Amino acid sequence: MSTVIETCQLVKKYKLGAATEVSALRGIDLQVEEGEFVAIMGPSGSGKSTLMNIIGCLDVPTSGTYRLSGSEVSRMSSNQLADLRAGKIGFIFQSFNLLPRTTALENVELPLNYQGVPNARKRAEEALEWVGLSDRLHHRPNELSIGQQQRVAIARALVTHPSLILADEPTGNLDTRASQEIMSLLQTVHRQGGTLVLITHEMEIGQHAQRVVRLRDGLLVFDESVADPLDARKLVAAATPQEQTHVAVA
């Protein structure tokens, strides 16, 4: 089994004004192996968004190293990062990020067209069929339900066969039923061998992962596998006292 994500002493600092410096990440060591489903959790200000941006090749660390599928990311140029994102990472966003004037099929086909992949239309159709939208190929986003829009986004993330699926609060705009459907779909991706990193602050969503990583104040404070993905005990152990009240434990 190969390592998809490997960070070593990852540090990210931001300057606020001329004299103030804020450390968003303070020496993160993290490995994610091929086929894992990892939830990265933490309260606001914990550093999880910063870590997500670095993992997703949207930003680079101040110091430390990050390797994605063996490629050293930490010192890449903007163009190199863009190429790596396109070829290695499938993104699923809270706000879906679909192009409003194009159909579901065209949205899913777009990343393949950018890469010059042959048979892009057929692959996009197959991806939409896999997420249960074979009857919505030619619908625009405003003609789809919120849950269906997120399914289109998942199909778009999967269609390039990426090394990593990065889901940033994928259920944040969904109701309970649609959230459960989307998480069931992501679990199916995992069971079929996909590598997923889920960024979430919702305890109920984090329970679906195979492994829970928790950040607090820029530090990794908890990292443990969950034998039963829907067993909340591990999450309770990782949570703050205030958050524990929102997790039901059998």
Query: Each residue of 119-131: pLDDT tens digit?
Result: 999 999 999 999 9
Average pLDDT over residues 97-107: 96
Please indicate whether residue 243 or residue 220 has the higher confidence score (pLDDT).
220
Q: Which CATH number fits domain 3-244: 2.40.50.100, 3.40.50.300, 1.25.40.10, 2.30.130.60?
A: 3.40.50.300
Both tokens of 75, joined, read 């010192």
Q: Where does the chain have alpha helices with state H?
A: 48-55, 78-88, 104-115, 120-130, 146-158, 176-191, 203-206, 233-238, 241-244
Contact 127, 108 (CB under 8 A): yes
Beta-bridge partner residues of 25: 12
- The span from the CA of 130 to the CA of 28, in Å, is 36
Which residue ranges make up each domain of the chain? 3-244
Sign of the alpha-carbon torsion through 173, 177, 182, 187: positive
Residue type, 4: V
Q: Are strands 89-93 and 219-225 parallel, antiparallel or unpaired?
A: unpaired
What pLDDT shows up at residue 56? 95
pLDDT tens column, 143-178: 999 999 999 999 999 999 999 999 999 999 999 999
User: For the chain, what is the radius of gyration of the CA atoms?
Assistant: 18
For the stretch 43-101, pLDDT in tens is 888 999 999 999 999 999 999 999 999 999 888 888 999 988 988 999 999 999 999 99
Q: How many CA atoms lie within 13 A of 97 on its CB side?
A: 16
Query: 150 with 178: CB under 8 angstroms?
Result: yes
Sign of CA dihedral 44, 50, 52, 58: positive
Give percent of the chain above pLDDT 90: 75
Residue that the structure tokens 């490995």 belong to: 31
Angle at 28 between CA 26 and CA 31, to 5 degrees: 175
Higher pLDDT, 16 or 117: 117
Q: What pLDDT score was predicted for residue 207?
A: 87
